[in-house]
A and B are shown apart, each in its own frame.
Chain A
Amino acid sequence: MTIQNDLLYSKSHEWIRFTGDNTAQIGLTDFAQDSLGSLVFINLPEEGDALSAGESFGDVESVKAVSDIISPVSGTVAAINTELLDAPEKINEDPYGTWLIEAGDITDKDDLLSAAEYEAFCSEEG
């Protein structure tokens, strides 16, 4: 399992890449894609939708199950990665290179983990 040092992480296995003071990209971690298995569908919100920290903004379906994607921040959806709607397997192939949404107008965020903290958290969980 890989973890990237330049990202922040949530306990529900999303990664966050801050691209500005109140903008960020959000994706699923390698641990998440590995646990879920091959992804077959993804539901993403629409641009302009509100994001609420700790609440679901979409879901991914693997051959095993459907899982919510939890937003680590509050704000609005600035962009979605539409390419994924037809090719969710990109998350399996390159989890850190594949963002799901870009959040803008971020007003609040959950307590996020550093790479080292996330690694420790995963080894406890897994």
Chain B
Amino acid sequence: MKLLFEKSVAGRASSILPVCDVPVVDLADNCKRQRPLRLPELSENDISRHYSQLERRAHGVNNGFYPLGSCTMKYNPRVNEAVAALPGFTDIHPLQPAHTVQGALEALSLAEKYLCAITGMDAMTFQPAAGAHGELTGVLLIKKYHEARGDTARVKIIVPDSAHGTNPATAAMAAMSVVNIPSGPDGCVDLDKLRAAVGPDTAGLMLTNPNTLGIFEKDILEITKIVHDAGGLVYYDGANPNAVMGVIRPGDMGFDCVHLNLHKTFSTPHGGGGPGSGAVGCKDFLAPYLPKPHVGVKDDAYCFRGDCPESIGKVKSFYGNFLVVLRALAYITTLGRESVADAAKNAVLNANYMMKRLSECYSVANTGLCMHEFVLTLEKEAKEKHITAMDIAKALLDRGIHPPTMYFPLIVHEALMVEPTETEGKETLDEAADIFIDIYRQAMADPESVHSFPLTTPVGRPDEVAAARNPILRYTFE
């Protein structure tokens, strides 16, 4: 389809801007553009059709099943949008005096209180813009903690080999070195390997629980104890709390700080890449290091506390993506304490139901109960019949299903990572399972046929090598 720039017709316009009602200020010549911006010129009708056309070429939660593992593509209740669109929240400025935005500050404070209760933490910042940003903030807290105690030899962060790539990247960004420990045969942390890895140079361990294979780390109390006994801290990667929220708390498992992907677990539409919110919670002893400013109470009124001499500073301008925090608050408030736990339980139930149905023909990477997601492996099929995880994923597109996460975690070959979430009914799960199974049978009967899928989508199989090596990221004017 044509780009807006290609559809542009010189002189065509949309009168959507109101007449300027403030004095026009003339800039100095050296501050002015030398020529006008080359913006596309289209009628409002054409623009509207353009975006509708783009929307038809995409697949979102509103279009169909979206079991993208580790991404928690749950349905996001519309009431959250209504709350986040209230003028009292949208028509304010972050530099407004605190006494004029007491409601917004109260919302931030309440969200902190509820999310701390859910995670078992004592304080929380909403500055980080998304998950990896939250990770960096959390690891900087850990680093600051060691530095503040004069323990400067602690420069290593331990991550399991099943971790998200963001974990080692985060450690590197925080100028720490990364120690990778292999998982045990059950996909969980190998306690002996962990014991061998910790020492006086250990700053901390980054871990997600349930882990990346969708398995609950049953030795979690021993894991956190091993790290604590060695003088390190334990960081909870917020990839997977959808399986446990309201049921068990990272704080009770021994974690010292956590991040939450509010956009995932607490329901903000996030398929388009943002905005997100990587809220970071921590125990009391780390709270002084949290980014500033932090919402507090002074003289019976909410305020921004800037008196945080030990803070690691700002990690983002102002207070983070405020409207995402509001959606999370609306989500938690409308569900209530018990229903937050029910959501997690249903996420686990749905995943187990789907896993059981798919295990009729697919191989599951780790047998036994899963949490909110599970990992299939096409390793045998790839070897014997050249049917890969990619083939299955592409075939799903033709059937109106967004493919699961592919080729992750790296410790499972030909992986498909399926996360149905709690917001899908049994009918959807059954329909999807039927399609998965049907595709599998067709692939086994006629392996050649699946290499050509998808046939019905606007784009077939793109040249991934060319896309990675020579991405075209902007329009080039002739």
Contact = CB atoms under 8 A, between A and B. Distances in A.
Interface string A60-86: 010111110000000000000000000
B383 interface: yes
A40 B469 contact: yes
Contact of B465 (A38, A65, A67): A38
Among B165, B383, B407, the one with the most A-chain Cβ atoms within 10 Å of its Cβ is B407
A64 B407 contact: yes
Nearest to A64: B407
A119 interface: no
A40 B470 CA distance: 10
Interface residues of A, number: 12
B383 A63 contact: no
Among B165, B383, B468, the one with the most A-chain Cβ atoms within 10 Å of its Cβ is B468
Chain B residues touching A, majority SS = mixed
Contacts of A126: 383
Contacts of B165: 66
Contacts of A66: 165
B229 interface: no
Chain A residues touching B, majority SS = mixed
A40 B468 contact: yes
A63 B469 CA distance: 10
Nearest to A125: B413
A63 B468 contact: yes
Contact of A89 (B383, B406, B407, B465): B465
A18 interface: no
Given A40-B469, A126-B383, A65 B407 contact: yes
B464 A38 contact: yes
Nearest to B468: A40
Among A63, A64, A67, A126, the one with the most B-chain Cβ atoms within 10 Å of its Cβ is A64
B410 A63 contact: no
A68 to B, nearest CB: 9
A41 interface: yes
B465 A40 contact: yes
Contacts of B406: 64
A43 B123 CA distance: 40
Contacts of B408: 65
Contacts of B468: 40-41, 61, 63
A35 B388 CA distance: 12
Interface residues of B, number: 11
Contacts of B469: 40-41
A89 B468 CA distance: 12
A65 B410 contact: yes
Contacts of A64: 406-407
Contacts of A67: 410
A59 B159 CA distance: 18
Nearest to A126: B383
Interface in B456-474: 464-465, 468-469
Nearest to B410: A65
A64 B407 CA distance: 6
A61 to B, nearest CB: 8
A126 B384 CA distance: 11
Interface string A80-117: 00000000010000000000000000000000000000
B258 to A, nearest CB: 26
A38 B461 CA distance: 15
Nearest to A38: B465
A66 B408 CA distance: 11
B94 to A, nearest CB: 37
Contacts of B383: 126
A40 B465 CA distance: 6
Interface in B160-200: 165
Interface string B439-477: 000000000000000000000000011001100000000
A89 B413 CA distance: 22
Nearest to B465: A38
Interface string A14-46: 000000000000000000000100101100000
B316 to A, nearest CB: 27
Contacts of A89: 465
Contacts of B407: 64-65
B472 to A, nearest CB: 15
Contacts of A61: 468
Nearest to B178: A56
Contacts of B410: 65, 67
A63 B464 CA distance: 6
Interface string B402-440: 000011101001000000000000000000000000000
A36 B175 CA distance: 29
Interface in B196-228: none
A76 B166 CA distance: 30
A8 to B, nearest CB: 24
5 contacts: A38-B464, A40-B465, A63-B465, A89-B465, A126-B383
Interface of B: 165, 383, 406-408, 410, 413, 464-465, 468-469
Interface of A: 35, 38, 40-41, 61, 63-67, 89, 126
Top 8 nearest A-B pairs (CB, nearest first) are: A40-B468, A63-B464, A64-B407, A38-B465, A40-B469, A65-B410, A40-B465, A65-B407
Given A63-B464, A65-B408, 14 more contacts: A38-B464, A38-B465, A40-B469, A41-B468, A41-B469, A61-B468, A63-B465, A63-B468, A64-B406, A64-B407, A65-B407, A66-B165, A89-B465, A126-B383
